[in-house]
């Protein structure tokens, strides 16, 4: 028994494994808390019908994001359990899940309120940026495993890690405060005005 193992009810608990799991799925836990916060906001009895509708649409986007990220937990477990993962496609599941969530959000869900549209745009933007990063890291790994480049860390791996976490944090923040944090919505409106 090492320093990290503790006995609870006669069973050993590996705290390295528990903390690794929690840190790996920190974004999922944060999205769960954001979803609960948005649920509490919808229960305000003094809000007008328009405000309730707006808050329900933000809650719907929050629920979709939480479900998308929570779905990854059993998928990762099954992949690890049956050893489905491949050196050639380690990030394909993340890429496909992000793209499926974007398609579901764009073509199935009907969001009409201003705050709902803002959250939808930020979530689509963040998931598409994450998908691009997953695709680029996948191409990089394919080149390394096929010996077209050396297998050593380089600056893009840091960009990938920081980028994924930045876009996840940006989506969480916008779903929580419902504000145009990096002026994405404002610049989108300017581009549309210039185009027409």
Going by pLDDT thresholds of 50, 70 and 90, the confidence category of residue 45 is confident
* Count of domains observed in the chain: 1
Please check whether residue 10 lies inside any domain of the structure. Answer: no
Residue 90 has pLDDT above 70, yes or no: yes
Structural domain of 146: 27-195
| The pLDDT value given to residue 10 | 59
Residue 64 placed within a domain: yes
- Please give the angle made by the CA atoms of 72, 124 and 187, to the nearest 5 degrees: 150
Over the stretch 161-189, which tens digit does the pLDDT of each residue have? 999 999 999 999 999 999 999 988 888 77
The whole-number pLDDT of residue 85 equals: 64
- In-domain check, residue 9: no
Confidence of residue 84 (pLDDT cuts 50, 70, 90): low
pTM comes to 0.86
Lowest mean pLDDT among 75-84, 87-96, 167-176: 75-84
Q: Rounded distance, CA 11 to CA 5, Å?
A: 10
Residues whose CB falls within 8 Å of the CB of residue 29, separated by 6 or more in sequence, listed in order: 22
């Amino acid at each position: 028994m090492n320093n990290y193992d503790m006995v609870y009810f006669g069973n050993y608990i590996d705290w390295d494994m528990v903390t690794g799991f929690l840190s790996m799925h920190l974004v999922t836990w944060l999205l769960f808390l954001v979803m609960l916060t948005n649920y509490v906001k919808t229960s305000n009895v003094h809000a007008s019908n328009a405000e309730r509708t707006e808050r329900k649409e933000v809650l719907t986007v929050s629920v979709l994001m939480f479900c998308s990220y929570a779905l990854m937990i059993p998928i990762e477990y099954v992949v690890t359990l049956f050893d489905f993962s491949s050196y050639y496609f380690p990030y394909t599941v993340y890429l496909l899940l992000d793209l499926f969530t974007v398609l579901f959000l764009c073509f199935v869900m009907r969001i009409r309120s201003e705050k709902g549209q803002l959250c939808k745009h930020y979530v689509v933007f963040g998931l598409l940026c994450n998908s691009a990063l997953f695709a680029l890291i996948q191409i990089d790994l394919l080149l390394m495993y096929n010996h077209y480049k050396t297998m050593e860390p380089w600056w893009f791996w840091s960009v990938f890690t920081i980028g994924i976490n930045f876009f996840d944090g940006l989506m969480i923040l916008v779903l929580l405060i419902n504000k145009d944090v990096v002026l994405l919505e404002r610049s989108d409106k300017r581009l549309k005005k210039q185009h027409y």
